[in-house]
Structure 1
Amino acid sequence: MASIAAAALHAGADLVRRHDYSHLTDAQILELTHDPFEESTKYSKAAVICLSSVIGFFGVLNGLKLAVRNNTRITRIPAYQRSVALCRYIDAIQPKALGFIRFPSAGAIALIVAFWLFILIWTFAQQPLYYSDWDLGSAPLAIRAGMFALGCFPFILAFGAKWNIVGFVVGCSPEKLKTFHSWLSHLFRSRTRQNEDGLNPDGLSEVNYSWHVRGMVYYWSGIAAIVPLCWLCWASFAPIRKWSPAFFRYTHYISAILFSAFFYLHCNNVLNSWEYLYAAAGVYFASLAARWSLLAIRNGRKVSRATVELLADDAVRVTVPVTGRKWAAGQHFFVNFFKLRAFDNRPYTVSNAHSVTSDHLTLVFRINPSSGLGPRLLSLAASNASTPVLLDGPYGGPSAARRDLARRETLVLVAGGAGMAHCAAVLEDACARIKRGESVGVKKIHVYWAVRNKTVKSWFDEQLCRATQNLPADLVSFHLFVTGGNDDADSLTSEKAQSELSTEKLKETPSIESGSVFTASTSSALLVPWTTHSGRPALASLLTELFDTAAPGSSIGIASCGPHGLTTDVSRAVAKRQRKIAFQGVSQGVAEVELHTESLDW
């Protein structure tokens, strides 16, 4: 103990020489040297190393996945299949929402919790938490937490950017990374304490005391940063975003600017802290510059003009002529109708495949006819006029995660409402590739669409008919689930009946060369052979039956887009099958399931 005390006093003497702590007692000097302020940079470096390592790890996994994707000798090895199923199982587990609070997948939760525990345990396990006297300096607990937050700051901006290197490395679309952008932001925290050492004779908390030291900008600016930070963190919940997306977006940007400014002042370049802020600014502005440059290049001097067509059930079809622009099936664009609503920039999924119609893209989405952009779009549709639009993208889709669902023997498309735009594009692309004779694996396609009423069938009737034209009639099965009531004589009347769809029909996997051919009429009255059911689809039963009745050793690709509840049901059903493959192995039914989900309200 004597040697330890001597070493501490020696270190304390060094602090005295540098900071003139000669007025302190030996006990106070020992207190300062237990976790020296000058060594606090290790915490921000630890955060950077930890996050970079996780990104690098998943980058390696992404590279390995791409390397072996087309190597059937490896992909058919049982150990490989079970390992892949285990990873997909963790990623597919989807907790149900608690009211308006929605949770990410279990895989994302595990990463977030592990990093939070890493930060919290080190922050609170390290001693001391506070100094005995006010004039010894800021509380060590606050310094550690602040330095950890400082190390996270560049990554928070990187995860929130639309164009970022992280998504490219790990094979993830920007909207998926926003989960980490949101939850990492909650690590920024503040703590208060009281003191009675004479410098603050009233015993005020640090928050209250900060307003009495206005000349110390670096001190009170930390408290000033809390206000916009709280808005950034807590105003991202669904009720506020849905109440007014534009209001949320504007205040989010304003709050981010205010927080960054006060955080910059608060850091005061202590321990070279501004270097992390410069790195964060570099990450953000590099992404912004890339996005704006591509926006200018792709839109060109002549901005595209969109035409609007009114559809059933408060929906519109927006058609935008494009030249030289490519997108993959299932991707979305951020569209700005700047003449109608200058700062309204929203994501819309492209409902047609580039491989079929490369001269224009089509957007189908529902509107509010009485507020927002809705009345202006209705006016355009009534006047048969056009309006200029700016297209930012494409983003997301299965291709962003390096998925090719058409490689699977069975393709399942599950949509809710306007989410059918995503599934229609995937279906159109798969059918076009079959017609061109490409080496796709799909032999059977199931389409399940949940809608409020039957009139919405007209949204995609013509497109789906043309997509399946000159293909075997039993290649694609269409199932429409009407949730708004029984308005058709051939509707089924219960979820039990839905789950008892003909097993023989679901088991059919005809080859492309055999079977009759469905030829769509070229007239305007094109109709899709929908099998109509009433009520919500019992997705757990439907998907489980598909998995169990599939050919032994076969694979299934699933694309789902719709409300959060629908995509959650799909994910949970897939997770159940992945768990069975990973832990038990399968001798019957499907041996591999690949899932891609998109939510309408992310």
Structure 2
Amino acid sequence: MSHSGHMHMGSGAVSHSDLQLMYWAVVGSAVWVATLANALNHILTFQRTRDSNLTPSKPKSLFFRAYATLTAVSREASYATLPPTSIYGHTLHFAPLGPLFIVLANLIVAVVLCFYKLNTEDQWSWEDIGYRTGFITIAQLPLIFLLAGRQNIIGLLAGIDYQRLNWFHRWVARTVWLCATFHMGFWFRSWGRYNYITYQLQTNGFAKRGFAAWCILTFIVVSSARPIRKLGYEFFVIQHLVMFVGFTVAVWLHASAETKVWVWIPIGLLVFDRVGRYAWATYINLSVFHRSGTHTLWANRASFTPLPGNVTRVTIKNPGTKWTPGQHFFITCHTIAPLQSHPFTIASIREDNQLEFLVRAEKGGTRRFFRYASKYDQVLGNSAASDKQTRIVFLDGPYGRLRSPRQFDSIVLIAGGMGATLTVPLLRDIVAQWRSNSHLTITKRIRFVWVIKSRTHLTWFETQLQSVRADVAACQHEYPDISREIELNIHITCDEKLEQPPSDTCQAPTAQSTSFGRHTRSASTDRKPLATEKDAVSIHSESSIELSSLPGDRCCCTKTIEDDQINTLPCTCSGPASQIQSPPAPSDLSLVSGRPAIRPIIRKALEKAEGESAVFVCGPQGLSDDVRRSVVYLSDERAIHKGTGAQGVYLHVENFGW
């Protein structure tokens, strides 16, 4: 690839183009398997929604019983994750074994093709290896771009959302960097025999452009590491796009004529993604395409309401698009946070006829949202937005793919803090189906668990949870002969209204109590001066400030509450009680002080399940890992049920990258 000359191919030798096609044969086979599995899942959903049997989510034929067994076994291997490790006080979490296996398989295939039938110890083969590794490197470029776009062909075929594919995008890019390093290294090794490395870099145009491409790719790989991305996401996105343009140009100039097609393909994929996104964004954001009742050019106006916990509720009435629970939009509001676009999970369902997002104020645009909402909040509890307060927003989406929870017999919904933006809409969607068509619903049991710091955070979804309770009661009254079970539990880990203890009732937080990440840390370990939070103060006064920033007399109870202890007295903790008054809890909700024991919760649901079950979780990384391990353990524990479908467990973990 690095020169216009060609490597001499002996008789019977495999050509470079054949090796490139071999690589894509492997990639295509993997995509085909994922597409087949996605198609079978759609067939299962179609069957279940039309099955009048008492157990529609249980496989009925020999083929689907075998498929259920294969699925259960593969899920155990795929969901399993290595335990987190601590390095210099920082907890390192690992990706599940399934994605890790795919990344490792891609790496092995690429490296094997780089060195197939070549002797790395033979100095006369070093230039041949340099040619070969260059061809294999450039053949991988289309895959990087295929995995990067939001309008994703692989995601559409395989039923995988682009956030998960973006994780593969980063690891494929690292594999490309490794192969490019082999390519450059063996040319340097060959030139080094004659001390030609500096001379070639100064005089050889191919070498100059190739080295420039490698330097840009190295910068891209290093700057894409998660700790660096988190330093400034907006800056990362801009420099990432600029660097990729520079890398693509450098590779195109470096590549020989016969390999330039591998550069044109990524360019075409990038254009396809951008054109598709901009065309769709034009449709959903221009009022001319919708009966919005407004006479303005732009279709979507949002109101901003401050909530306790430094959270802003963003509401867009009559949006010009549809969505399903679990999806998200990218939101841009240039009048508040110019030139910034952030993804937020949709906290409402389509029956609401409005888009709602809960946005925690961190820094940058999200903090500006909260400042703006606090400025225009006139009266405590006032949620009515004036025309002056609403602002034009631009939407990009919806994005996100997950199997509908309506197709499972039993559902477990687990959320930590803001993770309820995923689980509450899923809960409401199932209950809405119960109300509209109870006789044909598949789901029979729902367990909803929400872990929050303070009772004040209940206001985020208080109305929705009360509505769920009312709908379930109406459904039970209207269809008394149909069994529908629902259990809603709210676990509060830090609360200003926890009871005073009998001296030894509640243990101090230990290292184990941090497994849920920042949502369960002691207030004293995460304390900040109140003065530093002045930008986050709204009309809600103290209730709007994160508990982590409050004085240390607020207590945190991280004792693990077993399922059979739900109705016992809550855990208490030491320290004087606060004078801040929390809002009352929604009626009929179970409030418990302490962390939930995840494994018993899932086990209880599986023991009652009569068909395939599902677990949806969204929250801190520690909570997600705990759920993964529990699902794997319980699935393996119930190996005798594999094939019946009764203990099949689908797991969806919502996060933006590992």
TM band (smaller chain): 0.7 to 0.9
Match of 2:120 in 1: 129
1:45-104 Cα offsets, whole Å, 9 max, x none, are: 222221112111211222123224426584565433212211222332233445575543
- Answering whether residue 381 of structure 2 is matched by residue 389 of structure 1, we say no
Unaligned 5+ segments in structure 2 are: 49-55, 287-296, 378-388, 477-483, 508-557, 569-582
Separation in 2, partners of 1:148, 1:571: 36
Code of the residue aligned with 1:383 in structure 2: it is: Y
Task: Report if aligned partners of 1:353, 1:425 keep a CA contact under 8 Å in 2.
Answer: yes
2:616 alignment counterpart: 559
Residue type of the partner of 2:592? H
Larger relative CO (CA 8 A, sep 6+): 1 or 2? 2
Q: What is the identity, as a one-letter code, of the residue corresponding to 2:240? A: H
| Paired residues for 1:123-522 under 5 Å | 123-129=114-120, 132=123, 139-188=127-176, 189=178, 190-191=181-182, 192=185, 203=195, 206=197, 208-213=198-203, 216-269=204-257, 272-300=258-286, 301-354=297-350, 356-358=351-353, 360-368=354-362, 371-383=364-376, 385-396=389-400, 400-401=401-402, 403-438=403-438, 439-472=440-473, 475-484=485-494, 487-489=497-499, 493=506, 498-501=561-564
Asked whether the 8 Å contact 1:485–1:535 carries over to 2, the reply is no
> Which of residues 105, 113, 119 in structure 1 aligns to 2:96?
105
1:56 aligns with 2:32: yes
Residue aligning to 2:523:
none
Q: Which residue number in structure 2 is paired with residue 24 of structure 1? A: none
Deviations 1:426-480 (A, max 9, x none): 1111111111125222232211111222211111001221233242388432222
- 2:333–2:391 contact (8 Å) kept in structure 1: yes
The answer to whether the Cα contact below 8 Å between 1:490 and 1:532 also exists between their aligned partners in 2 is no
Output the amino acid matched with 2:104. V
- What is the CA distance between 1:600 and its match in structure 2? 5.5
- Is this contact kept in 2: 1:338–1:389, CA < 8 A? yes
Unaligned runs of 5+ in 1: 1-17, 22-30, 506-523
Partner of 1:550: 608
Task: Say if 1:285 and 1:538 are closer, same or farther in 2 by CA, change over 3 A.
Answer: same
Residue matched to 2:75: 88
Does the 8 Å CA contact 1:561/1:597 hold for their aligned counterparts? yes
Indicate the residue corresponding to 1:115 in structure 2.
Answer: 106
Select the residue among 649, 653, 657 that pairs with 1:593: 649
Q: Residues 262 and 130 from structure 1, CA distance in 2 versus in 1: closer, same or farther, beyond 3 angstroms?
A: farther
Q: 1:339 to 1:139 in 2, by over 3 A?
A: farther
Q: Secondary structure at the match of 2:653?
A: strand
1:534 Cα deviation from its structure 2 partner: 3.0
**Structure 1 counterpart of 2:596:** 537
2:285–2:298 CA contact under 8 A, matched in 1: yes
Pair 1:504–1:79, CA change in 2 (3 A) = farther
Deviation track 1:353-387 (CA, whole Å, cap 9, x = no partner) reads: 11x212x100012113x644413542244225122
Q: Give CA deviations for 1:158-200 in whole Å, capped at 9, x if unaligned.
A: 1110001111111111111112211111122314258899x87
Aligned counterparts of 1:124 and 1:597: Cα–Cα separation in 2:
38
Say if 1:452 and 1:483, in contact at 8 Å, map to a contact too.
yes
- TM-score of the pair, normalised by structure 1: 0.81
C-alpha deviations, 1:413-437, integer Å up to 9, x for none? 1011111011111111111111112
For residues 141 and 584 of structure 1, what CA distance do their matches in structure 2 show? 51
CA distance in 1, matches of 2:467, 2:84: 38
- 2:236, 2:226 → 1: CA distance? 10
Aligned counterparts of 1:490 and 1:443: Cα–Cα separation in 2: 40
1:499 maps to amino acid:
E
| 1:469 partner letter | A
Instruction: Say whether the 8 Å CA contact 2:319–2:355 is kept in structure 1.
Output: no
Letter in 1 for 2:397: G
The equivalent residue for 1:11 is: none
Identity percentage of aligned residues: 20
